Structure 1
Amino acid sequence: MLILLVEDDQPLAASIAGALGAQGWRVDISPLGEPVPASLMRDDYDALILDIGLPGIDGLETLRRVRAQGSRLPVLMLTARDTVEQRVHGLEVGADDYLVKPFAPVELVARLRALTRRHENRVAEVLSVARLRFDPKALRAWVGDEPVKLSRRECDILQYLMLKAGRVVQREQLVTLVPGWSGATSDNALDLLVSRLRTKIEPAGVRLRTVRGLGYLLDAGDDA
């Protein structure tokens, strides 16, 4: 995942970036809210972590501007003051979740993973690339009109690849999607899972390519 972290406390920002980087996620850091709307228009972020107490425009005003330009990006707000009024205001302007300082890095990672998963599940009723279709709610896939039998792990991987179609997905990102897998999961296990999935879906006119040293890329084939 690519995450934009907006936090003016440099030691805290570095700590958060380290915790997220340990998951294989990439993090861009901004100490100010003003550049955020333009950054989200320019770069394809998966989530926004936004501190409320920023210099200049605060996190709530930053979020209001982000939502005003039509962004549906999942947003996790960080706050040092946990008041009902503040939470209600944040939710009204478009926050998806709150985390109160101080917090444990493991809780931040868990909340962010749950937040992006919920967001991806509601992005589309049925995902499609070329003649490949996938229903995230029913966990069903079709090549044209023919159903494709997939394991739960294959469904998890396919959904993420289809949401990121046309972009390289890092191997570490796919490992974190599979329940029970961790950074210790062997490369061979992931390669085998992707190979099985490739065999099942490429008749739909898609390509699932291995990008050496980076990860995988799903896109429409030349004949799609």
Structure 2
Amino acid sequence: MKLLMIEDNKSVSEMMSMFFQKEDWDVTFAYDGDEAMDKFNESPDDWDIITLDLNLPKKDGMEVAREIRAQSESVPIIMLTARDSDSDQVIGFEMGADDYVTKPFSPITLVARIKALQRRVHTEGGGGEESSSSSKNNNLVQTDHFKLNTSTREAYLDDKAIPDLTPKEFDLLKTLAQKPRQVFSREQLLGLVWDYEYYGDERTVDAHVKKLRQKIEKVGPQVIQTVWGVGYKFDDSEVNSEE
């Protein structure tokens, strides 16, 4: 795995390098925002994952995330932040981050988060596709107006591709679409999509749903519905009447 770690604290980078070596990962380090973009731009299509500190010299981590997402919607990004503000985390997600780890963190925790995020990107399906009303094979989630392929990680609404889905947006859409009209609480979605507990940080789900809805609306009517006081569901039964 080729990893770019953007972290201004060299002690943290040196500590993590030992753990990354144990995993046999190919890691490049950048210590400020400008260097980060220079390193990223050397091979923008080759990175498997990026860890990004928000508090960077020369160029803020939010700006770095924005510039990376302008070039690649698919590369997974994990934010590293010493900030404990919920608003910082939500803004980070809106900039395109897929996950976050709050400092100080255990190296083992960060390695586990990286593996979990990569597992979600590369693991196809995994229990539940058969629940979709019209699924035809293990890689396909399909309803009357919607189709999602877990192999190509592409999603279509009435044969129009939903553009630029990040890994977490794709996983969230897949989880909802596998069981049309079933209502999922935010807590359930945190467990199913993020693979671990977020200790009640349900704004993570809301931030991702907001971005996902914006992308869906570029190609057709909204199919992710809010169930007030409960959570969200996928429902494309009203697509025809809305066109």
Matching residue's letter, 1:2 = K
Which digits, 9 at most, give the CA deviation of each residue in 1:126-146, with x for residues without a partner? xxxxxxxx96679xx9xxxxx
Q: What code does the residue aligned with 1:7 have?
A: E
Runs of 4+ deviating beyond 6 Å = none
**Of 73, 76, 79, which aligns to 1:74?**
76
In the TM superposition, 1:1-224 aligns within 5 A as 1-43=1-43, 44-121=46-123
Are the aligned partners of 2:78 and 2:100 in contact in 1 as well (CA < 8 Å)?
A: yes
TM-score calculated relative to the size of structure 2 = 0.49
The percentage of aligned residue pairs carrying the same residue is 37
Q: Which amino acid aligns with 2:55?
A: G
The SS at the match of 1:45 is: coil
Q: 1:12 to 1:69 in 2, by over 3 A?
A: same
Provide the C-alpha distance between the structure 2 equivalents of 1:74 and 1:59, rounded to a whole number of angstroms.
15
SS at match of 2:97: coil
Q: Which one has the bigger strand percentage?
A: 1
Where does structure 2 lack aligned partners over 5 or more consecutive residues? Answer: 125-136, 142-150, 152-243
Alpha-carbon separation, structure 2, partners of 1:27 and 1:14: 11
Residues 3 and 50 in structure 2, CA contact (< 8 A), matched pair in contact too: yes
* Counterpart Cα distance in 2 of 1:35 and 1:71: 20
State the Cα distance separating 1:42 from its structure 2 match.
2.8
Q: TM-score, normalised by structure 1?
A: 0.53
Question: What are structure 1's unaligned runs of at least 5 residues?
Answer: 123-133, 142-224
CA deviation profile, 1:143-192 (whole Å, cap 9, x unmatched)? xxxxxxxxxxxxxxxxxxxxxxxxxxxxxxxxxxxxxxxxxxxxxxxxxx
How many equivalent pairs are there? 130
Letter aligned with residue 109 of structure 1: V
- Amino acid of the structure 2 residue aligned with 1:85: S
Could you tell me whether the CA contact under 8 Å between 2:30 and 2:39 is conserved in 1? no
Counterpart of 1:34 in 2: which secondary structure? helix
Compute the displacement of 1:71 (Å): 3.9
